[in-house]
Amino acid sequence: MTGVPDSGVRNVLVGHSGNVVQAGHIEGGVHFHGRVEPEPPHMVPPPTPHFTNQSRVLRRVDDAWAGTEDETPHIMLFKGLRGSGKRTVGRQWLKAHAAELPDGQFHADLTGTRGSQGLESVKLREFLIASGVADSDVPATAEGRAAMFRSLTKGKRVAVCVDQALTPSQVRMLAPGPGRSVMLVTAAEDLTGLGIGERVTPVDLEPFDEVAARELVGRLIGADRVEAEPDEVGKLIEFCDGLPIALCVAGALLAEFPRRRIARLVASLDDNQRRLAVLSPNPELSVAAVFDTAYDCLGETEQLIYQALGAHPGTQSVTRETLARVLRMRYSQASEAIDRLIVSGLVTETTEERLSLHSLVRLHASNTATDEFHDDVRARFLGYYHAVGVAAGHAVLPSRGWRDRLLPHLAAFDDRVPEKPMTWLAEERANLLAAAEAAEESGKPEYAWELAIMLWPLHERGKHFADLATMGELGAVAAARAGLSGIESLSRIQKGFADLQSGYPKAAAETFEHALTVAETSGVEDLIATAVESLGLAYLADGDEVRAGRLLRRNLALAEELLREAGTGAEKSLMERRRALARMHLGKVREAAEATELLFAAREWFARAAKPEVFNVAKCDLWLGITFTRARDFASALSHLSGALDTMRGQGRHYDEMLILTALGDLAAKQGDDTAATDAYERASVIAAVRFPDQEREIRSKVAAVELSDSDGQLDQSGTVA
């Protein structure tokens, strides 16, 4: 400030002053009322008016906030899939708690700052100016601005929202001073290290369940439209996979055309290839743009792994080891990049070793790769699951001879057996099925029948009958196209077994009849015998013991003929095993004297085999128990059934445990011990309810009729098909 020109007087004002008056002549008084303080800043955008049910997440933040000390700002770090509504939840919480944070709400969006320098300094300048600091008084350096912001907010109650932070230092730079304040942070990168000197509460978000998703759609388009097309809304939610951003885009599209049926949009979303494009109609309303932003921030290795995940067959999780092997990377290199993908919000860690992609992220990942890369990596995934799958299947049940007779070339994969083959098979079951389903389209139809046949021990032991049926059908169709009648027959036999064990003996019989016809054209005698045996078991389960007996006796004759024609060594051992199985199955339908002779002979072979087959020993004991129950030799029946129960429990064979408990109930009922019968049936029913609901009704009927029942308690299900 300067004086009047040419007056010879010069007045200079420097530094700070609240109120300044310059006047040549004053009449009356000049009154100063103090400096006018600016209103507390309100920089945070409001939450969406359609905010929907995140009560669990909000409670988590409430609980953490309730324990916040007055001296330390509390950082709420929101984590979750891209598009899951992390920043929206933070803003909703802040709206509900605004009265507790009266001294200001600050907002810094750091989206897209990879490669940029100093954006946090720019944001701090905005914070200071919003707090009433004159532009000329804002420090020049980021450190100076951060220090001034901490000083201004010391002892106050403020909220700082930071979106898409890349580093812990960015968050620390924007932190308020000591006091009961809060920071609401979403991360674009790994913020490991944040929390060493700060108080941090991680808050995880997940996609909506159907109830919350349906509520959100109703808020967006009106409850009347949701009620008018409830099934179509269900499909819409399924296609959006519960992701809030996708549901919001779909809702906006529907709201734009209020007279259109929801079914019209659903039909366009039904096409996997177009779904992401439909949900990304323009840059301002785009699911793809959310994923693009995250993808563009990834490094080269992370992008490569992300593209590979888009080529993975099926929709299930994949292990870090599988990705490393398929991409031919060191495990440590792949694992470090995977960790960064998890932090980016594109990949979810389901367990320490397994990863999954949201269905829409999977489509995006697939679109980021070239066709050549996608097809190459997909072929590698299929090759990996095929090689390790057939090796593990054989390792679990090497005594099953079909590989060496029909698929001897698979022995080349024996060096691919995982450390725990059955555990690996169980964990990768869904991926193995997906590989078989993708085999034909990928130009590897042989994978379908080879996996179908070699994964028998996984499906049979685990009682995964739906997978067994699907695999059997895939293998049979592919083998039939290739003109491989023997392999087609075996695949159909396995499919029929799935029907049989699922409680559909008539359907199983039809499948076995077809398999037998195909086997006879192949001329493979042991396949013919297997088809005959399987058909006999189907008739037995259907209650036709006469036809079952004829077929199972024919099966034993065929087994004995095959044994006579066998050579020595492994071939002879396989045929001896076939005869033991044939004896066990025929023993199920014969009168007590012949049945016990057959069952004891089979049991002896299984017990004395080079590698004793304790499972089939227990199966023989089960049927010996049933036979002795019919013959009213209750002590022998109890002895064999108790031994079988111990074995099956020890091996985790829940299905067979259920059958044995049912047989023990039949034994007790035959003895007139209603209490013991009811107890055994109830225990069997518990297993059925949890694992085998198709069998639960039959067992419950036994519980209801226990006092009236005087039947022989014939089990409806048959034993193992080899």
What is the CATH classification number for the domain harbouring 622? Answer: 1.25.40.10
248 and 141 share one domain: no
The structure tokens 């130009």 sit at 443
Q: Give burial (CB, 10 Å; 0-12/13-18/19+) of 321.
A: middle
Number of structural domains in the chain: 4
C-alpha–C-alpha distance, residues 102 and 107, integer Å: 15
C-alpha–C-alpha distance, residues 539 and 547, integer Å: 7
Q: What is the pLDDT of residue 58?
A: 87
The structure tokens 């001296």 sit at 71
The kind and range of the H/E element at 199 are strand 199-205
pLDDT < 50: residue spans in the chain: 1, 15-16, 115, 710-722
Q: Angle 377-381-386 (CA atoms, 0-180°, nearest 5)? A: 145
Please tell me the pTM assigned to this model.
0.79
What are the φ and ψ backbone dihedral angles of 184, each rounded to 5 degrees?
Answer: -110, 110
C-alpha–C-alpha distance, residues 124 and 120, integer Å: 6
- Pairing, β 354-356 against β 348-349: antiparallel
158 and 236 share one domain: no
Question: What Cα–Cα distance (Å) separates residue 570 from each residue in 113, 251, 410, 610, 617?
Answer: 67, 66, 17, 11, 21
166 and 275 share one domain: no
Q: Which residues of 226-249 are buried (b: 16+ CB within 10 A; e: fewer)?
A: beeeeebbebbbebbbbbbbbbbb
Alpha carbon 604 to its chain centroid, in Å, reads 44
Question: What Cα–Cα distance (Å) separates residue 683 from each residue in 62, 199, 674?
Answer: 44, 50, 14
Does residue 81 sit within a domain?
A: yes
Domain CATH number, residue 163: 3.40.50.300
Number of C-alpha atoms within 13 angstroms, CB side, residue 104? 26
Does residue 260 sit within a domain?
A: yes
Domain boundary among 337, 369, 401: 369
* 642 contact partners, CB below 8 Å, separation of at least 6: 664
The kind and range of the H/E element at 368 are helix 359-368
360 and 229 share one domain: no
Does residue 572 sit within a domain?
A: no
C-alpha–C-alpha distance, residues 402 and 406, integer Å: 6
96 and 121 share one domain: yes
178 and 218 share one domain: no
Does residue 391 sit within a domain?
A: no
From the list 534, 484, 543, the residue with the least C-alpha distance to 512 is 534
Provide the token pair at 264.
Answer: 């019209």
* 579 contact partners, CB below 8 Å, separation of at least 6: 556, 559, 560, 563, 605
152 and 65 share one domain: yes
First to last CA, the chain: 102
The structure tokens 């420090």 sit at 139
Domain CATH number, residue 306: 1.10.10.10
DSSP string, 501-519: HTT-HHHHHHHHHHHHHHH
C-alpha–C-alpha distance, residues 394 and 522, integer Å: 24
Q: What is the pLDDT of residue 714?
A: 46
102 and 196 share one domain: yes
C-alpha–C-alpha distance, residues 190 and 297, integer Å: 12
194 and 214 share one domain: no
The structure tokens 């929101």 sit at 78
- Three-class SS of residue 23? coil
Q: What share of the chain is helix, strand, coil (3-state, %, to 5)?
A: 60, 5, 30
187 and 269 share one domain: no
Does residue 492 sit within a domain?
A: no
Q: What is the pLDDT of residue 84?
A: 85
Provide the token pair at 26.
Answer: 């004053």
Name the DSSP letter for residue 413.
G
Q: What is the pLDDT of residue 117?
A: 59
C-alpha–C-alpha distance, residues 515 and 495, integer Å: 10
Domain boundary among 205, 237, 264: 205
What are the strands of the beta sheet with 354-356, ordered from one edge? Answer: 318-319, 354-356, 348-349
C-alpha–C-alpha distance, residues 402 and 162, integer Å: 62
Q: What is the pLDDT of residue 711?
A: 47
From the list 148, 147, 144, the residue with the least C-alpha distance to 133 is 148
* 147 contact partners, CB below 8 Å, separation of at least 6: 139
From the list 161, 216, 154, the residue with the least C-alpha distance to 185 is 161
Torsion sign across C-alpha atoms 134, 139, 145, 147: negative
62 and 128 share one domain: yes
Q: Angle 715-702-647 (CA atoms, 0-180°, nearest 5)? A: 50
Our CA dihedral for 220, 222, 228, 231, rounded to 10 degrees, sits at 20
101 and 221 share one domain: no
DSSP string, 568-591: STHHHHHHHHHHHHHHHHHHTTS-
Q: What is the pLDDT of residue 715?
A: 47
Does residue 563 sit within a domain?
A: no
C-alpha–C-alpha distance, residues 332 and 336, integer Å: 6
* 369 contact partners, CB below 8 Å, separation of at least 6: 307, 308, 310, 311, 377
Which residue range(s) make up the domain with 277? 210-285
Domain boundary among 321, 349, 369: 369
What are the φ and ψ backbone dihedral angles of 620, each rounded to 5 degrees?
Answer: -60, -40
| Residues composing the chain | 722
C-alpha–C-alpha distance, residues 517 and 520, integer Å: 5
- Three-class SS of residue 3? coil
Does residue 78 sit within a domain?
A: yes
C-alpha–C-alpha distance, residues 104 and 134, integer Å: 17
Q: Give burial (CB, 10 Å; 0-12/13-18/19+) of 467.
A: buried
The structure tokens 């045929």 sit at 575
C-alpha–C-alpha distance, residues 358 and 82, integer Å: 10
Does residue 342 sit within a domain?
A: yes
C-alpha–C-alpha distance, residues 512 and 508, integer Å: 6
